[in-house]
Structure 1
């Protein structure tokens, strides 16, 4: 755990080259088997930072240059039955290798137990591949972040203890005195909590989990993935629009029943997709549930509103920003009043939300770096809309007569 610009990537590359070039692993390898030094990061682009340092050593040091048998886009094959490769943080693609060493870069920013690829599962998939190689090394490096995940667990259990895995903690300036202290001082003045993590190697105390997995899973109806339209039920819908290139376009439908808020349907279109075609598809589903108006945020300006209107669906801007929607969601989860569909992706996104407090004391709730919350946002919006119905605001309700194929609108006005 070292602050930013403290030389983590260079040290990792140096370790990788030393282990690859100065140890003979062939006695422990079967005929045709190669030992692998794997550099793993959240994505291959990030992992290649270390690979470039490795390439500079193998290409620039004459003695090591002679050991190169082959160079590929993803690494090097050496003439001593060792390969150096870059990989991504996946417990599926990490299996099947015989590992000489594994270098895990910026592991604090890998997804934790809220993800389909949690950091603990990736490390568990790696360790069996190291079992037959004496002195095989697992080296995880990162600037610290939130107090969760594999890095926090290792720090909490092993830091400062003898006879255990070594946990190395150092500030940026301790590792790299060339970084001006004035630069760090300015960063501390701008955002103390962030700079303490970035340069002083301290875990952030201003970032905590929004809700536990146990609370969310207690609200899930196992095996129920979608609920059909029921005549006479007043449904509410919330959308989280997207332009089709980065985030998903999601929609959630819910209703209120016997004091509970029941999640009926979720739709997600992952990029790439056509926003116009997605809106047309969502509008058909909305009409099937007798819904004539959808709520959503201000994303895309007039574009989503215009296209929803073309299909006969009104688009009302949400009164609440994302953080407020999650704050409204929390008591419904804690009290068990929310009845959620069985969706692992939705559960992971809600569990992955982080609560942050700014220097001015303002609270925000959002996904972790590299994470997503498109499903969680639309479901939180639908839950909020159903909770608002109970507060008797002015609202537009739609009912749908499926047999006759007609749609009727009813206006219900009640003073707040």
Structure 2
């Protein structure tokens, strides 16, 4: 690969990219991009470079990875679009692409809407240049096709269909907020690992730009290892506040937001990784509780089962259900069945389907929270199932579930999406010191919430009956098992709605 012109020359040439990143407000963005291409900085630019990277001098060689940890509204997308325009339009790849091979500049973003914005910026950059505009052959909703077998493609961050293409560069937008994909954990790490081999033959750059989030994931890993003077010369990491990269934002607005929510907005606008977030549980602990190859357990006439539902209360939430039972004497809980129905759906049809599931396990009373309103009670009642909206808040349900996960006292079925949601949960510490547990922004916990609810109901209580206490005696304390037998019979009577007699 051979640059036809340096990035600095392109940004200063009105016929090329002189209109891109123009003005003093983009100085930080220009400085970092120019340095990442191995170009020399001016004496005026170098102090800013040192401030943002912790390094005394620019690398003077094109880096293989550029990582930008920048506050929100810090012109990250415009900077990445400028980089994409230069790498796709002003670099010659004929020496690294064989005849007929297409070089793809891949842009990955949180969703299709953000990805399209990045492509729109690229299109505008090409259209404003009398020279670069001649390279454009075609534009679709997710692709700009250029002369010379070069394509700029944008996609939402997904593990699917990334292997195979030859990449001239990969741009990852807001990578700290790529959380879980269906059935997968650590999706950011998996995506980056899957595209990296496609950069080998072209010596293409991997560019990540994001506001920071928790101290985990690929962004944090690279930042921790390479930020500052001891980082690899081939990996350039910069960190800057919103105003470092966009001084048009008023400091008074930043101060107001920091006062409102210091922990969240220090990450959003000061580019500081959050210290109030901790992972709920490790993938190793979660997988140790999974009975591999067991996808559902059939009903057993000698077992008392409990049911929990998490009705959909929003336009994007799934309606989920879970069946579980307690192993008396062992103080363990077993998950037997999980159901998920994605939107859109008919509430009546789903409640009828779930009612049949519960009845197959001889469950007459189920539990849920009150988030969805009264309709689950009414709909389940039509099909012979009593629905009590008396569940604990979900943060408390997750608190109850955690010790069982850590001590392997819950037997989970083999359900990858459930495990992904479980491992994505976060523990947050509020200013008052109180912890809460929830899914990350733009994440989901419909399935694991139903599982946690079923575990809590199975293990702890029904109304004022503390079933755990009734069955907790040691063998020496209850040699004939009478207490455990009474607890099982009482819970069977209660949860079956009187179908099982005392």
Partner of residue 215 from structure 2, selected from 142, 147, 153: 147
**CA, structure 1 residues 268+162, in 2 after alignment: closer, same or farther (shift >3 Å)?**
closer
SS of residue in 2 equivalent to 1:119: helix
Q: Report the more deviating stretch, 248-257 or 75-84.
A: 75-84
SS of residue in 1 equivalent to 2:499: strand
Note if contact 1:232-1:399 (Cα within 8 Å) is conserved in structure 2: no
2:468 maps to 390
Note if contact 2:116-2:141 (Cα within 8 Å) is conserved in structure 1: no
Residue 408 of structure 1 pairs with residue 499 of structure 2: yes
1:157 maps to 225
Residue 219 of structure 1 pairs with residue 303 of structure 2: no
2:247 maps to 177
Instruction: Tell me, in whole angstroms, the C-alpha distance in 2 between the residues paired with 1:270 and 1:124.
Output: 30
Alignment of 1:34-73 (within 5 A): 34-73=102-141
1:404 maps to none
1:358 maps to 430
Instruction: Tell me, in whole angstroms, the C-alpha distance in 1 between the residues paired with 2:394 and 2:179.
Output: 21
1:128 maps to 197
Q: Per-residue displacement from partner, 1:256-311 (whole Å, max 9, x unpaired)? A: 11321111111111223222111101101111111100000113311111010011
Q: Per-residue displacement from partner, 1:216-259 (whole Å, max 9, x unpaired)? A: 11111122211111113211111001168421111111111132
Q: Tell me by how many angstroms 1:177 deviates.
A: 1.1
SS of residue in 2 equivalent to 1:256: strand
SS of residue in 2 equivalent to 1:169: strand
Instruction: Tell me, in whole angstroms, the C-alpha distance in 1 between the residues paired with 2:281 and 2:390.
Output: 23
Q: Give unmatched runs, 5+ long, in structure 1.
A: 401-406, 412-416
Alignment of 1:362-377 (within 5 A): 362-377=434-449
Q: Tell me by how many angstroms 1:194 deviates.
A: 0.8
Residue 103 of structure 1 pairs with residue 171 of structure 2: yes
Instruction: Tell me, in whole angstroms, the C-alpha distance in 2 between the residues paired with 1:95 and 1:106.
Output: 21
Q: Tell me by how many angstroms 1:96 deviates.
A: 1.8
Residue 25 of structure 1 pairs with residue 103 of structure 2: no
**CA, structure 1 residues 148+112, in 2 after alignment: closer, same or farther (shift >3 Å)?**
farther
Note if contact 1:234-1:397 (Cα within 8 Å) is conserved in structure 2: no
Residue 209 of structure 1 pairs with residue 300 of structure 2: no
Note if contact 1:238-1:294 (Cα within 8 Å) is conserved in structure 2: yes
**CA, structure 1 residues 352+145, in 2 after alignment: closer, same or farther (shift >3 Å)?**
same
Instruction: Tell me, in whole angstroms, the C-alpha distance in 2 between the residues paired with 1:382 and 1:342.
Output: 16
Q: Report the more deviating stretch, 125-134 or 201-210.
A: 125-134
Q: Report the more deviating stretch, 36-45 or 374-383.
A: 36-45
2:484 maps to none
Instruction: Tell me, in whole angstroms, the C-alpha distance in 1 between the residues paired with 2:120 and 2:291.
Output: 49
Q: Tell me by how many angstroms 1:318 deviates.
A: 2.5
Q: Alpha carbon RMSD of aligned pairs, Å?
A: 2.0
Q: Tell me by how many angstroms 1:20 deviates.
A: 1.1
Alignment of 1:256-267 (within 5 A): 256-257=326-327, 258-267=330-339
Q: Tell me by how many angstroms 1:64 deviates.
A: 1.3
Aligned length: 404
Instruction: Tell me, in whole angstroms, the C-alpha distance in 2 between the residues paired with 1:302 and 1:97.
Output: 51
2:78 maps to 10
Note if contact 2:106-2:154 (Cα within 8 Å) is conserved in structure 1: yes
1:119 maps to 188
Q: Give unmatched runs, 5+ long, in structure 2.
A: 1-68, 461-466, 471-486
**CA, structure 1 residues 248+242, in 2 after alignment: closer, same or farther (shift >3 Å)?**
same
Q: Tell me by how many angstroms 1:146 deviates.
A: 0.8
Residue 93 of structure 1 pairs with residue 161 of structure 2: yes
SS of residue in 1 equivalent to 2:139: strand
1:340 maps to 412
Higher-Rg member (1/2)? 2
Q: Report the more deviating stretch, 177-186 or 235-244.
A: 235-244
2:298 maps to 228
Note if contact 2:368-2:391 (Cα within 8 Å) is conserved in structure 1: no
SS of residue in 2 equivalent to 1:371: coil
